[in-house]
Amino acid sequence: MSKKALITGITGQDGAYLAELLLGKGYEVHGVKRRSSSFNTGRVEHLYTDPHEGETRFFMHYGDLTDSTNLIRLVQQIHPDEIYNLAAQSHVAVSFETPEYTANADAIGTLRILEAIRILGIEKTCRFYQASTSELFGKVQEIPQKETTPFYPRSPYAAAKLYAYWITVNYREAYQMHASNGILFNHESPVRGETFVTRKITRAVAAIEAGRQETLFLGNLDAKRDWGHARDYVEGMWRILQQDTPDDYVLATGVTRSVREFVELAFAHIGRTLTWQGEGVEEKGLDVASGKVLVAVDPRYFRPTEVDLLLGDPTKAREKLGWQHTTPLEDLVVEMMEADRKLIREGRF
Ligand code: NDP
Ligand code: GDR
Architecture of domain 4-190+227-255+308-327: 3-Layer(aba) Sandwich (3.40)
pLDDT of residue 186: 98
Task: Report the alpha-carbon distance of residue 32 to residue 16 in Å, rounded.
Answer: 12
- Predicted complex ipTM: 0.99
Q: What is the mean pLDDT of residues 245-257?
A: 98
Question: How much distance in Å is there from the Cα of 152 to the middle of ligand 2?
Answer: 17
Asked if pLDDT for residue 282 goes beyond 90, the answer is yes
Catalytic residue status for 157: yes
Residue of 20, 135, 209, 264 with catalytic role: 135
Catalytic residue status for 28: no
Q: Locate the ligand 1 atom nearest the alpha carbon of residue 185 and give its number.
A: 42
Ligand 2 in contact with 134 (CB < 6 A)?
Answer: yes
pLDDT of residue 1: 82
pLDDT of residue 55: 86
Mean pLDDT for the chain overall: 97
Q: Which CATH code fits 197-221+258-306+336-345?
A: 3.90.25.10
pLDDT digits (tens, 9 = 90+) for 83-120: 999 999 999 999 999 999 999 999 999 999 999 999 99
pLDDT digits (tens, 9 = 90+) for 123-139: 999 999 999 999 999 99
* Residue 49's pLDDT band (cuts 50, 70, 90): confident
DSSP category for residue 318 = I
Residue count of the chain, please give it.
349
pLDDT digits (tens, 9 = 90+) for 173-215: 999 999 999 999 999 999 999 999 999 999 999 999 999 999 9
Asked if pLDDT for residue 217 goes beyond 80, the answer is yes
Catalytic residue status for 100: no
pLDDT of residue 224: 98
Domain boundaries, the chain: 4-190+227-255+308-327, 197-221+258-306+336-345
